[in-house]
Amino acid sequence: MGVPSILSTGVVMDSSILNQIMARLSHADQIRLLVSHPFFTGRCPQCHSRVPLSQANLGQAQCTHCGWLDLDLQQEELRDDSITPSC
């Protein structure tokens, strides 16, 4: 089990889970995720409304204001077997 990490949003997450997610993404996608995803920013990337932490989980985030859904990460989860970790 990984070491818990406290993110800027105040969320505590097991670092091994975060590492697994990040390992599947290219460096450009990692940066995009860090600067835009509500899990890290607390805001919707589409309308910039606040997203409650309970609705900001990676792969399950949603904005109740504009309806944005975290479909990119959900699709990555479905294709997990076909993705190789980036170097």
Percentage of the chain modeled with pLDDT above 90: 31
**pLDDT beyond 90 at 48:** yes
Are residues 34 and 64 in contact, defined by beta-carbon separation less than 8 angstroms?
no
The whole-number pLDDT of residue 13 equals: 58
Please check the confidence at residue 77 and state whether its pLDDT lies above 90. Answer: no
- Asked if 2 and 62 touch (Cβ cutoff 8 Å), the reply is no
Is the pLDDT reported for residue 9 higher than 70?
no
User: Which one has a higher pLDDT value, 26 or 11?
Assistant: 26
Q: Tell me the pLDDT tens digit for each residue of 58-74.
A: 778 899 999 999 876 55
